[in-house]
């Protein structure tokens, strides 16, 4: 009984919010209500359904002056109603899409995260689209991939065949994209002042969800009832989404129930196992070529080149020498470019101390001086690597901010 009451309270609050936020004519709303209830009755089994009957009572008792057709679609998403127009043709079957997502076995996605940028992902499921049994996640243009399976989680660099492995199970962690919830959560954003528009085409169904801060659009295959594209059309507060570990901004391609590439979820038997995950990020095409330099000389040279690249805002050079900059999303690069154009970026640097080692990591104190007069202190962390006899070094973070991960 408790779940039943909570459901009715939720739906009642929703109806009140719509009533308070929207202004339409009573005749229009009565027609919308009657059409929705008529379609609902066609889909209900003969036996009693507590949650459904409670929803019907609320809709009948409420003065639904603010319940527009978009709100009916949202209620349909909650109670599993199929909404019809013109008496026979389905405009959109929300429950069919939810069920279709629940039944998928694999999915391939290609899209964009708010913070990390372009990515592609393979997932395998066993009945729960929010908890995959296997995940492969990579970033476009980078050899690194994160892989999660029942055996554990590991980072793999396909360029160097280096792997960092941990036996912990991360399939329920926040970094796993929750594919099953993406559609439902977007629908649930609908509330007071929001709008859902549904356009029924021959091949695809378009669902556009507008909230005060962002507007999102789903394209759904009319035959399979599965989403095939997801687009954030407008976002007035992207910083909010960047605070999430992996927040999906767009999905330009979604494919279902295909067999993933052979071995994509497996740890290579000949992989080179490393102690730290950052050790997987490095490659022989990046970093500073140490050559005949001593460790002290190489540290100073790396700092000089990295600091000058910072002043020049040389993105390619920064990402090569300092792994931290590989995490910057396009929005951050755009912001700092604007700062540089406005004369508000770094102007000079100074190496303020001598290089010193702690274990296999070297440290070098530096200062970057900004145009505003502010000074930023960074004690650069530098690590050396051998690639088939060739030694290279990289900045893997700083003492102030820690190791890149």
pLDDT 10s digits, 65-84: 444 434 444 343 333 333 33
pTM of the model: 0.67
- The set of residues, in sequence order, having a beta carbon less than 8 Å from that of 130 and lying 6+ positions away, is 178, 179, 180, 181
Reported confidence tier of residue 313, pLDDT bands at 50, 70, 90: very high
Q: Rounded mean pLDDT of 339-344?
A: 92
Q: Does residue 158 register a pLDDT over 50?
A: yes
Domains 94-275 and 282-403 share a fold: no
Q: What is the pLDDT of residues 3-43, one digit of tens each?
A: 444 444 444 444 444 444 444 445 544 554 555 455 445 54
Query: 348 in helix, strand or coil?
Result: strand
Q: What is the CA radius of gyration of the chain?
A: 27
More confident position, 273 or 58: 273
Per-chain mean pLDDT for the chain: 78
Beta bridge partner(s), residue 348? 369
Q: Spell out the residues 6+ positions from residue 67 whose beta carbon is closer than 8 angstroms to its own.
A: 15, 18, 19, 22, 29, 32, 33, 59
pLDDT at 128 over 70: yes
Separation CA 352–CA 290 (nearest Å): 22
Distance CA 161, CA 176 (A): 23
Q: Is the pLDDT of residue 320 over 90?
A: yes
Residue 243, classed as helix, strand or coil, is coil
CA distance 396 to 326: 11
pLDDT tens readout for residues 351-391: 999 999 999 999 999 999 998 889 999 999 999 999 988 99
d(CA 211, CA 67): 16
Q: Are 111 and 117 in contact (CB under 8 A)?
A: no
pLDDT in tens, 275-299: 888 898 999 999 999 999 999 999 9
Q: Taking the domain 94-275, which CATH number applies?
A: 2.50.20
Query: Which pLDDT score, from 0 to 100, does residue 364 have?
Result: 98
The rounded percent of the chain whose pLDDT value lies above 90 is: 41
Across 227-263, b (16+ Cβ under 10 Å) vs e yields: bbbbbbeebeebeebbeeebbbbbbeebebeeeeeee
DSSP character string of 256-291: ESPPPPTTTTSPPTT-EE-SSTHHHH--TTSSEE-T
* Domain boundary assignment for the chain: 1-92, 94-275, 282-403
CATH number corresponding to 282-403: 3.10.450
**Residue keyed to tokens 């767009």:** 250
Q: DSSP secondary-structure letter at 212?
A: S
């Amino acid at each position: 009984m408790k779940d039943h009451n909570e459901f009715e309270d939720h739906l009642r609050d929703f109806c009140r919010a719509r009533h308070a936020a929207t202004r339409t004519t009573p005749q229009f709303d009565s027609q919308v209500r009657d059409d929705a209830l008529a379609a609902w009755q066609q889909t209900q089994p003969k036996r009693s359904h507590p949650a459904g009957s409670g929803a019907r009572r609320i809709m009948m008792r409420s003065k639904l002056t603010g319940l527009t057709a978009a709100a009916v679609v949202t209620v349909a998403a909650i109670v599993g109603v199929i909404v019809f127009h013109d008496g026979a043709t389905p405009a959109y079957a929300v429950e069919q899409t939810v069920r279709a997502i629940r039944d998928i076995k694999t999915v391939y996605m290609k899209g964009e995260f708010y913070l990390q940028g372009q990515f592609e992902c393979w997932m395998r499921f066993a009945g729960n689209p929010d908890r995959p049994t296997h995940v492969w996640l990579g970033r476009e243009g980078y050899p690194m991939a994160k892989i999660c399976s029942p055996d554990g989680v590991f980072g793999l660099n396909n360029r160097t065949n280096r792997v960092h492995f941990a036996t912990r199970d991360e399939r329920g962690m926040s970094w796993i994209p929750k594919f099953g919830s993406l559609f439902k959560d977007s629908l649930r954003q609908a509330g007071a002042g929001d709008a859902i528009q549904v356009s029924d085409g021959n091949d695809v169904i378009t669902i556009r969800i507008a909230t005060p801060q962002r507007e999102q659009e789903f394209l759904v295959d009319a035959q399979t009832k599965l989403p095939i594209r997801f687009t954030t059309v407008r976002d007035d507060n992207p910083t909010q989404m960047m605070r999430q570990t992996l927040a999906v901004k767009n999905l330009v391609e979604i494919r279902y129930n295909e067999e993933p590439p052979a071995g994509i979820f497996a740890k290579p038997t000949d992989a080179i196992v490393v102690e730290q995950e950052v050790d997987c990020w490095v490659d022989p095409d990046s970093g500073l070529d140490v050559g005949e330099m001593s460790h002290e000389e190489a540290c100073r040279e790396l700092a000089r080149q990295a600091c000058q690249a910072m002043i020049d805002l040389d993105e390619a050079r920064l990402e090569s020498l300092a792994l931290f900059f590989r995490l910057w999303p396009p929005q951050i690069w755009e912001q700092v470019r604007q700062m540089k154009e406005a004369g508000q970026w770094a102007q000079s640097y100074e190496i303020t101390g001598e290089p010193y080692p702690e274990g296999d990591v070297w440290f070098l104190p530096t200062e970057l001086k900004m145009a505003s007069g502010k000074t930023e202190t960074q004690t650069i962390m530098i690590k050396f690597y051998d690639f088939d006899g060739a030694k290279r070094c990289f900045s893997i973070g700083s003492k102030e901010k820690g190791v890149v991960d």
